[in-house]
Structure 1
Amino acid sequence: MNKTELIDHIAQQADISKAAAGRALDAVIGGVKGTLKKGGSVTLVGFGTFAVSKRTARTGRNPRTGDAIKIKAAKVPKFRPGKALKDALN
């Protein structure tokens, strides 16, 4: 499912226009991004938790030349599914 299909699904299930569903989805995504950018986490009970994890700096290899390269430390988004989501899949 892509974003357009998700907007269609939201519009149909919530009985709202596609434009309103698109704005609502953008607001949710923006809220999650903003919270993660501040270092917080977003928990949706029954669905899962979005959080930020820190990846340490490390040494990697250039696959083309085999030379060692330094990879900077980074913050990466993580998603941990909730119990209800796991149960729905099994």
Structure 2
Amino acid sequence: MNTSELIEQLAQDHKLSRVKAKRILNSIFQAITESAARGDQVSISGFGRFKVAIRPEREGRNPTTGAPI
């Protein structure tokens, strides 16, 4: 399921316009993003946990040639 399908499902389930359903979904995503950016962990029971993970840099490789990027 992609975002468009999720918006459509939300609109149908709650008898909303697609525009209103999209605003609601974007608001939810924005709240999760802002909270995680502040360093908070967001837990939604039955769905998942979101947090920003800081990882050290690593060297990439060109898959064709194996050359470092």
TM-score range, shorter chain: 0.7 to 0.9
- Cα shift at 1:36: 1.4
- What are the residue-to-residue correspondences of 1:1-80 with 2, within 5 Å? 1-58=1-58, 60=59, 62-63=61-62, 64=65, 66-67=67-68
Q: Identity percentage over the alignment?
A: 31
SS of equivalent residue, structure 2 residue 54? strand
RCO comparison, higher one (Cα < 8 Å, 6+): 1
Distance in 1 (alpha carbons) for counterparts of 2:28 and 2:16: 16
Following superposition, the deviation at residue 65 of structure 1 comes to: 6.4
Gaps of 5+ in 2: none
Q: Identify the residue that residue 75 of structure 1 maps to in structure 2.
A: none
Query: How has the CA–CA distance of structure 1 residues 9 and 65 changed in structure 2, closer, same or farther, with 3 Å as cutoff?
Result: closer
Q: How big is the alpha-carbon RMSD for the aligned residues of Structure 1 and Structure 2?
A: 1.9
Provide TM-score, normalisation by structure 2. Answer: 0.78
- Encode CA deviations 1:15-36: one digit per residue, 9 max, x unaligned: 2221111100010011111111
More strand per residue: 1 or 2?
A: 1
Using the size of structure 1 for normalisation, the TM-score is 0.62
Offset from partner CA, 1:42-85 (integer Å, 9 cap, x none): 11111111111111133x25434634x6xxxxxxxxxxxxxxxx
